[in-house]
Amino acid sequence: MNTAPRLALVEDDPTQRHIVVEYLARHGLRPAAFGSGAEFRRAATEALPDLALLDVHLREA
């Protein structure tokens, strides 16, 4: 069983999302990436992460 912390990254810029996910995974964390708040909300109903990192400048309303 993997006990590494589960992190959710909500970032609408695909390049930034990729960079951060790769960094987190390299450091032993289990990142899950989402391109919008709506995607994250749908996924969070099934499994809550230990920590959520949110882009404070998301383009969605």
The predicted pLDDT at position 8 comes to 97
Work out how many domains the chain is built from and give that number. Answer: 1
Q: Say if 30 falls within a structural domain.
A: yes
pLDDT band at 6 (very low <50, low <70, confident <90, very high): very high
Render pLDDT for 24-54 as a digit per residue (tens, 0 to 9): 999 999 999 999 999 999 999 998 999 999 9
Question: pTM for the full model?
Answer: 0.86
Q: Say if 37 falls within a structural domain.
A: yes
Q: Say if 26 falls within a structural domain.
A: yes
Q: Say if 59 falls within a structural domain.
A: no
Task: Let me know: does 55 contact 34? Beta carbons within 8 Å.
Answer: no
Range of the domain at 11: 6-54
Residue 15: burial class (beta carbons within 10 Å; 0-12, 13-18, 19+): exposed
The predicted pLDDT at position 57 comes to 85
The predicted pLDDT at position 56 comes to 87
The predicted pLDDT at position 3 comes to 86
Q: Say if 20 falls within a structural domain.
A: yes
